[in-house]
C-alpha cells in the first residue's frame, strides 16, 4: 500500500496540470506543485482548510459540481473558464474541470479539481529570487519536461512554444575574462529572466551559454511579445566583474509548436531563429517564421 501511495503522490507532484483534492466537507486534502505555481498559494497554507477567499470563484465552481457554468465562467471544450485571483492580487483565468470522487459503494467521498492556465490568462507578478531553483532546471530536466509537454500537446493538451535564448556577450566574456566570469554572468541573466516568467513556465540551461524557456503562450505573436519582455529584463541585469560594469543583451528565437512537426523540428526552428537574431547583430527577437524576420528588442 505504501508503494501505491508513493506512486500516486509522485504522479500528482509531476503533473503539469493543477490538482486540488477536496474532502466531503470541502477542505483541501491535496494541492499539487502545479496548483501552487499557478495560484501562488503553497500547499502548507491550504491543506486542511477551505479554499481561500481570493479563489472564491474557483471555490464556487467546485462547490456546485452539478452545474456546468458558474459565476463568470464560460464553457470551454475541455472545461470551464473560471476567473479568479492570484495570491498577490493579480487576475488569473484558468480552464477548470471537476471529478466527483466516490468509493466502491458509490458514496461521494470528495471532489477533484483539475485546472490549467487559460489562453487569456492575465500577466502575473514577477517571481522572487527565492523561487529561482523551482524554475531553473538542468538540461536533462528540461529535455524530460519538453518531451512530456510535447506529448501532452500531441494528444490535445495545451498549446506551447519555446524560446531559445543566448547571451550576446557570453563568447567574448569567456575569452577575455574566463569561465568564472561567464558563469557569474549567466547566473545574473538567469535571475533577471526568472522575474519575467509566468508561474506555469519553466526555464533551464540549454547548452553551455544558452537557456530554453517552455512557454504556454497560445499564439506566435504572444510568444514573440513575451520574448520581447524577457529581452528587456535581460538588459536590466547589473553585472559587474572586478569593478567593471558589463552591459548585457540577449538574442532569442521564438517557435510555436505545430502538431504536424516533431519535437526535433520545433527545436530546430527555434535554434535557426536564435541564430538569425545573432546574425542580425544581437539584441534581437526572431519569430520562427519562414522569413525569419528580426524584431529589434
Looking at residue 163, what is its pLDDT?
96
Looking at residue 67, what is its pLDDT?
39
pTM: 0.54
Interatomic CA distance for residues 81 and 88, integer angstroms: 20
Looking at residue 128, what is its pLDDT?
29
Give tens-digit pLDDT for 221-268.
Answer: 999 999 999 999 998 887 888 777 888 899 999 999 998 998 888 998
Interatomic CA distance for residues 284 and 297, integer angstroms: 5
Looking at residue 238, what is its pLDDT?
77
User: Which triple of cell numbers denotes residue 234?
Assistant: 535581460
Is a pLDDT exceeding 50 seen at residue 52? yes
Any idea which residue has 492575465 for its cell? 122
3-state secondary structure of 232: helix
Domains of the chain: 2-117 (3.30.450.20), 129-296 (3.30.70.270)
Dihedral (Cα; 171, 246, 137, 146), 10-degree rounding: -60
Radius of gyration of the chain (CA): 21
Amino acid at each position: 500500500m505504501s508503494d501505491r501511495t508513493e506512486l500516486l503522490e509522485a504522479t500528482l507532484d509531476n503533473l503539469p496540470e493543477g490538482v486540488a483534492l477536496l474532502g466531503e466537507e470541502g477542505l483541501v486534502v491535496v494541492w499539487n506543485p502545479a496548483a501552487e505555481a499557478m495560484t501562488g498559494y503553497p500547499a502548507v497554507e491550504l491543506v486542511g482548510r477551505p479554499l481561500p477567499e481570493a479563489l472564491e470563484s474557483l471555490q464556487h465552481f467546485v462547490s456546485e459540481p452539478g452545474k456546468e457554468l458558474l459565476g463568470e465562467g464560460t464553457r470551454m471544450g475541455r472545461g470551464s473558464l473560471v476567473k479568479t485571483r492570484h495570491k498577490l492580487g493579480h487576475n488569473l483565468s484558468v480552464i477548470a474541470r471537476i471529478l466527483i470522487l466516490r468509493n466502491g459503494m458509490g458514496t461521494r467521498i470528495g471532489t477533484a479539481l483539475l485546472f490549467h492556465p487559460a489562453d487569456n490568462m492575465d500577466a502575473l507578478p514577477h517571481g522572487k529570487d527565492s523561487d529561482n531553483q523551482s524554475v531553473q532546471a538542468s538540461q536533462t530536466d528540461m529535455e524530460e519536461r519538453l518531451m512530456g509537454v510535447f506529448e501532452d500537446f500531441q494528444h490535445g493538451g495545451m498549446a506551447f512554444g519555446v524560446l531559445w535564448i543566448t547571451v550576446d556577450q557570453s563568447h567574448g566574456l569567456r575569452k577575455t575574462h574566463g569561465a568564472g566570469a561567464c558563469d557569474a554572468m549567466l547566473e545574473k541573466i538567469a535571475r533577471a529572466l526568472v522575474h519575467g516568467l509566468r508561474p506555469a513556465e519553466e526555464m533551464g540551461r540549454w547548452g553551455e551559454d544558452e537557456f530554453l524557456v517552455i512557454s504556454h503562450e497560445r499564439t506566435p505573436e504572444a510568444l514573440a511579445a513575451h520574448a520581447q519582455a524577457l529581452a528587456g529584463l535581460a538588459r536590466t541585469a547589473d553585472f559587474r566583474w572586478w569593478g567593471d560594469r558589463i552591459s548585457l543583451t540577449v538574442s532569442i528565437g521564438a517557435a510555436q509548436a505545430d502538431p504536424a512537426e516533431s519535437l526535433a523540428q520545433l527545436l530546430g526552428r527555434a535554434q535557426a531563429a536564435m541564430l538569425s537574431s545573432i546574425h542580425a547583430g544581437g539584441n534581437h527577437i526572431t519569430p520562427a517564421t519562414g522569413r525569419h524576420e528580426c524584431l529589434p528588442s
